[in-house]
């Protein structure tokens, strides 16, 4: 039988855990080891490096409440969220080199077509 609809269940994260959503939806987790370790610690015994959005969706209320009360976990979460914010908003090499100069007329983007993480579908062909 073919499914008529699909539903994605996303947990409502307690306020202290809200930064997890931003971390999970940014691909930086796939190469940033502290963020990967943070998500791996959410579901001990689960596959290492698993899709963080799926991991968040699998957490039940009691586990979320325990994490929201865990000061050591919250400190690691705050550190990862602050690092991501700095990563996204701090001036990069290009912005420093450009200074007050004229921006380029165009920018080229080349896709190497290799898998970043198993959680992302890959196109090649």
pLDDT at 116 over 70: no
Position 121 scores a pLDDT of: 64
Angle between the N-to-C axes of helices 61-69 and 71-89, in degrees from 0 to 180, rounded to the nearest 10: 80
For residues 29-38, average pLDDT: 92
Whole-angstrom distance, CA of residue 68 vs CA of residue 9? 20
Predicted confidence (pLDDT) per residue in 44-88, tens digit: 777 667 889 888 988 889 999 999 999 999 999 999 999 999 999
What's the confidence (pLDDT) of residue 109? 75
Query: With bands split at pLDDT 50, 70 and 90, how would you rate the model's confidence at 2?
Result: confident
Query: HSE-up of 115 (CA within 13 Å, CB side)?
Result: 6
* Residue 97 pLDDT exceeds 80: no
Q: CB count, 10 Å around CB of 23?
A: 20
Is the separation of the CB atoms in 30 and 116 below 8 Å?
yes
String of b and e for 24-42 (b: at least 16 CB within 10 Å)?
A: beeeebbebeebbebbbeb
Its pTM stands at 0.74
Where residue 43 falls among pLDDT bands split at 50, 70, 90?
confident
Does the pLDDT at position 96 exceed 80?
A: no
* Per-domain residue ranges of the chain: 15-98
Closest by alpha carbon to 117, among 48, 71, 57? 48
């Amino acid at each position: 039988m073919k499914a008529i609809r699909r539903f994605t269940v996303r947990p409502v994260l307690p306020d202290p855990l809200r930064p997890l959503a931003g971390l999970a939806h940014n691909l930086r987790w796939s190469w940033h080891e502290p963020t990967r370790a943070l998500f791996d610690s959410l579901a001990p015994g689960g596959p290492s490096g698993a899709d963080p959005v799926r991991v968040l969706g699998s957490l039940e209320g009691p586990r979320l409440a325990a994490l929201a009360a865990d000061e050591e976990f919250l400190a690691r979460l705050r550190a990862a969220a602050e690092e991501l914010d700095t990563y996204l908003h701090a001036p990069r090499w290009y912005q420093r080199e450009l200074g007050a100069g004229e921006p380029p007329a165009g920018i080229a983007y080349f896709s190497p077509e290799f898998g970043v993480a198993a959680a992302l579908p890959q196109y090649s062909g």
